[in-house]
Amino acid sequence: MSRRNKLQKFAEVLSFPNVYENFDAKNPVLTGTGGVEVDLKGKWAQQHFSNDNPITLELACGKGDYTLGLARQFPERNFIGVDIKGARIWRGAKTALEEGLTNAAFLRTRIELIAHFFEKGEVSEIWITFPDPFLRKSKANRRLTSDHFLEQYKRILANGGLVHLKTDEPNLYDFTLEVLAENKDYTLLYHDDDIYSKALPMPELELKTFYEKQHLAAGKTIKYIRFRLDN
C-alpha cells in the first residue's frame, strides 16, 4: 500500500463515527470524529451504542473480520475491534458503515492500554483471532495470552467473562494452556487443537478471517481455547 493511500485512509477514518483513537501512550485520551476528545470509559454501551447490550472485544482485529462477522450474527450484542493499524481499521469501519452495522465499532490503540478505556466489568467477552505468536522466548510477554495481558483483561472483564483464542500456531496454543494451568484467576473451559475435524461447538467458530483462510489453504490446522475469568 502506498504512503499516499495510507494517508488518505488515515484522514478518512477521522470522519468515521464508529472509530475512536489514542496515539499517545503517555496520555491515554480517546478522540472520536474530527479528533474531538471523548470519555467512553464505563459508557460505551450508553454513549456510543445507545443501548445496554453486552460488549465483546476483538483484539488485534486487523480488518475486523471477526468484529463484523459477530456483529452480523448477534445484532443484540455490541462489538469493538481493537488494533493499532489505522489502515486496517479503516477497512472494517467502512464496511460496518456501508452495511449499517450499528453494533460494530473500532478502537485504534495499543492493546496494553485497553484498561484505560474500559471500566471493570464493562466487557463481557474477548476474542483473540490469529494474533502474532511472537515465537521468540524473549518476546513471550508480548503474546496476547501471556500473564501480562491476562492481567489487563482482568481489569475490564466482568466476573465470569469469557476469553476466546483462535490460532493456527501450535506453540501459542501450547503456551496458552501452560499459562492457564498456572493462573488462578482464569478457568479453562474448552480447548481443541483441530476444530474443523469435527462438529463445531459454537456458531462463532464458523467465521473465518482473511489469515485463517490462508492458513487453511496451506494445510494448517486451526486451534481454539476458551477460558473464563473467575476472580
Q: Which H, E and C letters describe 117-163, residue by residue?
A: CCCCCCEEEEEEECCCCCCCHHHHHHCCCCHHHHHHHHCCEEEEEEE
Which residues does 57 contact at the CB level (< 8 Å), separation at least 6? 79, 80, 81, 82, 114, 123, 125, 126, 127
The pLDDT of residue 85 is: 85
The pLDDT of residue 32 is: 95
The pLDDT of residue 87 is: 82
163: in domain:
yes
Specify whether 132 is catalytic.
Answer: yes
- Alpha-carbon gap, residue 12 to 96, rounded angstroms: 14
54: in domain:
yes
User: pTM of the entire structure?
Assistant: 0.95
32: in domain:
no
Domain with 164, as residue range(s), is 39-229
Question: φ and ψ at 78, to 5 degrees?
Answer: -105, 145
89: in domain:
yes
The pLDDT of residue 4 is: 61
Nearest to 23 by CA among 137, 123, 107: 107
- Through-space distance between the first and last CA atoms of the chain, rounded to whole angstroms: 44
Question: With a cut of 50, which residues of the chain have pLDDT below it?
Answer: none
Where residue 156 sits, what CATH number does that domain have? 3.40.50.150
Sign of CA dihedral 29, 134, 6, 19: negative
Number of domains forming the structure of the chain: 1
Instruction: Convert the pLDDT of each residue in 100-144 to its tens digit.
Output: 999 999 999 999 999 999 999 999 999 999 999 999 989 999 999
- Alpha-carbon gap, residue 150 to 156, rounded angstroms: 10
Q: Which of 39, 132, 194, 230 is catalytic?
A: 132
